Amino acid sequence: MTLRTLAGRPAVTGAWRHRPGGLYFPTSTCFPGDFESLEGHDLRPNAPAGYNMILLARLLEGDATKSLFVMNGNPASVLYDQNRLRRGLARDDLFTVVHERFLTDTARYADIVLPATSSFEQNDIFFSYYHPSLLINRQAVEPFGGSRSNLDLLSALAKALQFDDPEFDQDEETIIEQVLTLDQPAITGVDREVLRDDGWAPAGRDPVHAAFAEHRYPTPSGRIEFRSKRAAAAGLGPLPDYHPPRESPDGSADLFRRYPLQFLTPSAHSIHNTSFGDGPGFRGDENTPILLLNPADAGPRAIAEGDLVRVHNGRGACLLRAQVSDAIRPGVIMAAGQWWDRRYVGGSTPNHTTPDYAADLGGGSSFNSNLVEVELAANGPAHDFGRVGP
């Protein structure tokens, strides 16, 4: 609801008429939103089961879930309420397979780790996230050891399960060609020669931004809608409104009295989710996990620059080095990340404190709606930020 309210502000003020007076809109939406012709739904005899990844800890409680296959992810770092999640991952009766290039936090819980290829070892096609362009990735070296790409692994698994559909025999080049022949504006306008020779090419016409420029919007009325019948029918209210976060001074006064600091856990500049999270960082100011807090919050807690502090709430705790600065407002603390757990003192990460409930609209994560308290750690002498804890 907060984002819905913010999205309406450019329309309320009229700023949407002027570049760049609107709301940020991801360029990824100009690429095909419909890959159904490539997804093989016709091979499926029944509707797919699904779940929100945020709720993985809940799904692993009890013994209803017997196995877990992890690919392109590191839930033991990036998901929330980590104490609860890791109890599930540690179940003796849970059979876990992880397809990975590195021994991540999640891979350490695996019964079997299957080696994955890197981009240098496979052919692929990419849609840019921030620029309207397509990229072709050409294999540079042979797969190392027994490494397999996602495509090779899933095709082999399908055959082991005795699926004989011809789709499971498709190679990388066949699928890349299928993508490039999709009858969609962002694809059909691509210069194939430029893409082949340079490895990338601008996307074709962007139907999403073009529609907005012509004041055509994907709403029932075709106009910007503040009052939404669809939102009302979904039980979200017809108009944008203020809904206090579940963990906040307004949303949970009793909890706020116990844990009076709002804990933000964004990605660091040098780390994308947990990609690169086991390295020392690429920026000089991101070589170890720290906690940024305002002097107004540090002073009453006798916290000084470089002190080891304990961030905690009812879900869990982590140890971080304090960085005291006016760069953050009082009442708010921040730990950018996410490093792998072995780079945190004591092995616990900020996600040991974050909640796993979903947002009210869209089912996204609410991990920045997180109330905590901070105190000096018992064994926390100040030290140089360049050192990394075990």
What distance in Å separates the CA atoms of residue 12 and residue 305, rounded to the nearest whole number? Answer: 44
As a whole-number percent, the residues of the chain with pLDDT over 90 amount to: 57
Residue 280: pLDDT band by 50, 70, 90 thresholds? low
Distances (CA, A) of 130 to 102, 111, 180, 219, 267: 27, 37, 20, 25, 17
Instruction: Looking at the structure, tell me whether residues 25 and 125 fall in a common domain.
Output: yes
CATH of the domain at 320: 2.40.40.20
Partners of 113 in the beta sheet? Answer: 98
Q: Identify whether residues 141 and 266 lie together within a single domain.
A: no
Q: Which residues pair with 67 in a beta bridge?
A: 95
Q: How confident is the model at residue 176 (pLDDT cuts 50, 70, 90)?
A: very high
Side-chain half-sphere of 330: how many Cα atoms within 13 Å?
Answer: 7
How far apart CA 72 and CA 151 sit, in angstroms, is 12
Highest-confidence range of 13-22, 145-154, 359-368, by mean pLDDT? 145-154
Could you tell me if 98 and 157 lie in one domain? yes
Mean pLDDT of 179-207: 87
- Output the CA torsion sign for 353, 357, 359, 360: negative
Residue at token pair 């060609």: 177
- Determine the pLDDT at residue 106: 97
Region 89-109: what's the mean pLDDT? 96
158, 283: one domain:
no
Give 268's DSSP letter.
P
Rounded to 5°, angle at Cα 147 from 143 and 153: 115
Q: What is the pLDDT of residues 297-335, one digit of tens each?
A: 999 999 999 999 999 999 999 999 999 999 999 999 999
Evaluated on CA atoms 184, 187, 191, 196, the torsion sign reads negative
Same domain, 273 and 184: no
Domain count, the chain: 2
Say whether both 91 and 14 belong to one domain.
Answer: yes
| 311 within domain boundaries | yes
Q: Which of 182, 202, 222 is the last residue of a domain?
A: 202
pLDDT at 79 over 90: yes
Q: What is the CATH number of the domain that holds 140?
A: 3.40.50.740
How far, in Å, CA of 117 to CA of 105, rounded?
Answer: 18
**43 domain-assigned:** yes
* 175 and 309 both lie in a single domain: no
366 contacts 276 by C-beta, under 8 angstroms = no
Asked, for residue 181, whether it belongs to a domain, the answer is: yes
Last residue of a domain, one of 134, 169, 202: 202
Element (H, E) at 159: helix 150-160
Residue 29 pLDDT greater than 70, yes or no: no
Predicted confidence at residue 30, as pLDDT, reads 61
d(CA 291, CA 336): 8
Looking at the structure, tell me whether residues 31 and 126 fall in a common domain: yes
pLDDT at res. 329: 97
Claim to verify: residue 98 and residue 12 sit in the same structural domain: yes
pLDDT > 70? residue 26: no
39 plus 185 within the same structural domain: yes
Q: Which of 202, 217, 233 is the last residue in one of the domains? A: 202
Are residues 160 and 57 part of one domain?
A: yes
Q: Which domain holds residue 127?
A: 2-202
Tell me if 242 is assigned to some domain. no
pLDDT > 70? residue 97: yes
Taking the model in full, what pTM does it have?
A: 0.87
Asked if 334 contacts 314 with a C-beta cutoff of 8 angstroms, the reply is: no
Q: Are residues 270 and 171 in the same domain?
A: no
Residue 217 lies in a domain: no
Pairing of strands 95-100, 133-137: unpaired
How far is residue 207's CA from residue 188's CA, in Å, rounded to a whole number? 12
For residue 74, being part of any structural domain is answered with yes
Whole-number average pLDDT of the chain:
88
pLDDT of residue 373 exceeding 50, the answer is: yes
Note whether residue 384 is domain-resident: no
Instruction: Evaluate if residue 379 carries a pLDDT over 70.
Output: no
| CB proximity list for 300: less than 8 A, separation 6 or greater | none
Query: Side-chain half-sphere of 195: how many Cα atoms within 13 Å?
Result: 22
> Contact, 358 vs 350, CB < 8 A?
no
